């Protein structure tokens, strides 16, 4: 018979003998949890893992709260925080898994791999004598092999197309920057474009560096692209907003049951930056994206163009455990300068319907027509200039742009889902890199002159069929213009920079096109900002 641990025995005795005083009743829930764990650990018919029991109990408790209070394991916590903290330690390559092999897209500029001579197109087949190619290793496991403490060594075996023998490289791991500015370029002679993928610790500095670079190129107007940006650090969005608002302007404030209102103001000693601003947003723009959008909208400092944003108006505070796991607990609501909460409705404990909200919006027709959006007049607020804005479910754009699904048919969705596009691009660039670099030494030359040919599309269709996507000539013809543009953008990204992809694909994005039109129409822009229709 299994021995009962002394602590457990004492706890069980205490449970049986306790008298229901008010103090004991106050702490009863916590004591019940401890006692339940001890009972399971000591009396359950089979062996149990105490860590798993406690972890599942924490998860179950948090599920009874709001949808954004969560528990993450140590590994999950690292995966979530590394992209936001600005760096991690590793070898410094952008890679894709292609047919069970690590294919190098680009070494990180100035990183360990670039320093030792690893090139785009190289295939990493082993790290420290452990094979990572041809062994069906998950990508997460590959990343563990390539990452490691700063100063540690990764002895890599590399296959290079132009070399008959496997190459060996001794790579000393270092801090690798994680960039959150996906793209920056001049959209026209006076309009700059900056895409922010998330709000991390280094985003404000990255942003101002990009801004100053575009300013040197003649920028007078600015498009900030927050489409699909799920958020990040509140402080990062606040720091960016400060650059564009007069000192003393409210950016956002937070308030909770156990937290006094905390206001964030623009406090720059320098004059606020003054370009015309348009923010691009859609249904996947959330949290910190909505803070920046709301601050510019409520202060009448810029226009929001696109579709209603996600609607996350809750602030989470991290509570780390010694083992590296973490609870992210909602401790406050945040409010835009006009006083509106943009948190969409939820039922405590019901994460299912909350998670289906985006699809419900789509089915209701909200992505196609602004008239389908339900606005609660009781949640109506006004901007500084008296423009109506609404709370209770995301940031409503000043200019609505319906979704465009042209070319996104069944065939396109299948080749995306089965990663055919990326695999084709990787193989094409691998086979034609030198030829492409010779023909298009400059990014502008590639953008202006390169086209995806019909023979390339035939090869693409053959690859797709080999990967389980049956050819359908009508469907292929329908999606070909869009598919060709995506392929061209990805080839350009591999040859040049992530901005190349945006420069190629953005011109067919309806939200981008409308933003570019309005920002270059001062009368219409100013009329929209001043509530004069």
Question: What SS3 string covers 82-123?
Answer: HHHHCEEEECCEEEEEECCEEEEEEECCCCHHHHHCCCCCCE
Cα(64)–Cα(145) distance, integer angstroms: 37
Structure confidence at residue 237 (pLDDT): 98
Write down all domains in the chain, each with its CATH number in brackets: 6-72 (no CATH), 87-177 (2.30.42.10), 181-403 (3.90.226.10), 410-496 (no CATH)
In the DSSP assignment, the letter for residue 427 is H
3-state secondary structure of 195: strand
Among 157, 184, 242, 312, the one annotated catalytic = 312
Residue 348 catalytic? Answer: no
Structure confidence at residue 6 (pLDDT): 52
Among 66, 174, 182, 298, the one annotated catalytic = 298
User: Tens of pLDDT along 166-215?
Assistant: 999 999 999 888 889 999 999 999 999 999 999 999 999 999 999 999 99
pLDDT at 351 over 90: no
Confidence grade of residue 78 (pLDDT, cut at 50, 70, 90)? confident
pTM: 0.88
Residue 287 catalytic? Answer: yes
Q: How many helices (H) and strands (E) does the chain have?
A: 20, 21
pLDDT at 141 over 80: yes
Among 198, 287, 338, 461, the one annotated catalytic = 287
Backbone angles phi, psi at 494, to 5 degrees: -65, -35
Residue 122 catalytic? Answer: no
Cα(337)–Cα(304) distance, integer angstroms: 15
8 Å CB contact between 341 and 392: yes
- Residue whose pair of structure tokens reads 């197309």 in the numeric block: 161
Residue 238 CA, chain-centre distance (Å), reads 18
Structure confidence at residue 1 (pLDDT): 39
CB atoms closer than 10 angstroms to residue 76: 14
Average pLDDT over residues 451-460: 96
Confidence grade of residue 34 (pLDDT, cut at 50, 70, 90)? confident
335 sits in which H/E element: strand 326-335
Cα(197)–Cα(227) distance, integer angstroms: 8
Cα(185)–Cα(403) distance, integer angstroms: 24
Confidence grade of residue 73 (pLDDT, cut at 50, 70, 90)? very high
Cα(181)–Cα(179) distance, integer angstroms: 6
């Amino acid at each position: 018979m299994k021995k009962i641990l002394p602590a457990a025995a004492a706890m069980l005795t205490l449970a049986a003998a306790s008298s229901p005083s008010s103090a004991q009743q106050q702490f009863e829930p916590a004591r019940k949890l401890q006692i339940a764990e001890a009972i399971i650990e000591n009396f359950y018919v089979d062996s149990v893992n105490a860590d798993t029991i406690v972890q599942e109990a924490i998860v179950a408790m948090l599920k009874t709260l709001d949808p954004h209070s969560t528990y993450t394991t140590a590994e999950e916590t690292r995966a979530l925080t590394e992209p936001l903290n600005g760096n991690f330690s590793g070898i410094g390559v952008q890679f894709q898994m292609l047919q069970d092999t690590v294919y190098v897209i680009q070494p990180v500029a100035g990183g360990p791999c670039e320093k030792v001579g690893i090139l785009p197109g190289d295939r990493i087949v082993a790290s420290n004598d452990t094979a990572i190619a041809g062994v069906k290793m998950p990508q997460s496991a590959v990343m563990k092999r390539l990452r490691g403490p700063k100063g540690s060594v990764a002895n890599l075996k590399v296959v290079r197309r132009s070399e008959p023998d496997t190459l060996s490289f001794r790579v000393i791991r270092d801090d690798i920057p994680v960039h959150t500015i996906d793209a920056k370029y001049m959209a026209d002679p006076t309009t700059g474009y900056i895409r922010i993928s998330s709000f991390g610790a280094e985003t404000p500095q990255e942003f101002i560096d990009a801004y100053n670079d575009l300013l040197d190129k003649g920028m007078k107007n600015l498009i900030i692209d927050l489409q699909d940006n799920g958020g990040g650090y509140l402080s990062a969005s606040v720091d960016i907003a400060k650059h564009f608002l007069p000192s003393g302007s409210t950016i956002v404030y937070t308030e909770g049951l156990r937290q006094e209102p905390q206001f964030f103001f623009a406090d720059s000693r320098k004059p606020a930056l003054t370009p015309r601003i348009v923010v691009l947003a859609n249904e996947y723009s959330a949290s910190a994206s909505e803070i920046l959008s709301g601050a510019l909208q409520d202060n009448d400092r810029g226009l929001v163009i696109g579709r209603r944003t996600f609607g996350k108006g809750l602030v989470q505070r991290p509570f780390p455990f010694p083992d590296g796991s973490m609870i992210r607990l909602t401790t406050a609501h945040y409010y835009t300068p006009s006083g509106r909460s943009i948190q969409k409705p939820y039922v405590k404990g019901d994460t299912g319907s909350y998670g289906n909200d985006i699809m419900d919006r789509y089915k209701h027709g909200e992505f196609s027509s602004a008239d389908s959006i339900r606005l609660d007049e009781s949640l109506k607020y006004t901007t500084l200039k008296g423009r109506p804005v609404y709370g209770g479910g995301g940031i409503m754009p000043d200019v609505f742009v319906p979704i465009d699904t042209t070319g996104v048919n069944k065939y396109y969705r299948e080749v995306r889902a089965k990663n055919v596009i990326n695999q084709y691009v990787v193989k094409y660039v691998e086979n034609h890199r030198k030829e492409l670099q010779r023909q298009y030494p400059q990014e502008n030359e590639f953008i202006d002159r390169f086209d995806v040919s019909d023979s390339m599309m035939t090869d693409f269709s053959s690859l797709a069929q080999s990967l389980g996507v049956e050819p359908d000539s009508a469907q292929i013809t329908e999606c070909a213009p869009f598919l060709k543009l995506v392929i061209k953008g990805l080839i350009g990204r591999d040859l040049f920079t992530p901005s190349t992809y945006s420069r190629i694909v953005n011109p067919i994005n309806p939200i981008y096109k409308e933003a570019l039109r309005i920002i270059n129409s001062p009368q219409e822009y100013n009329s929209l900002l001043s509530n004069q229709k």
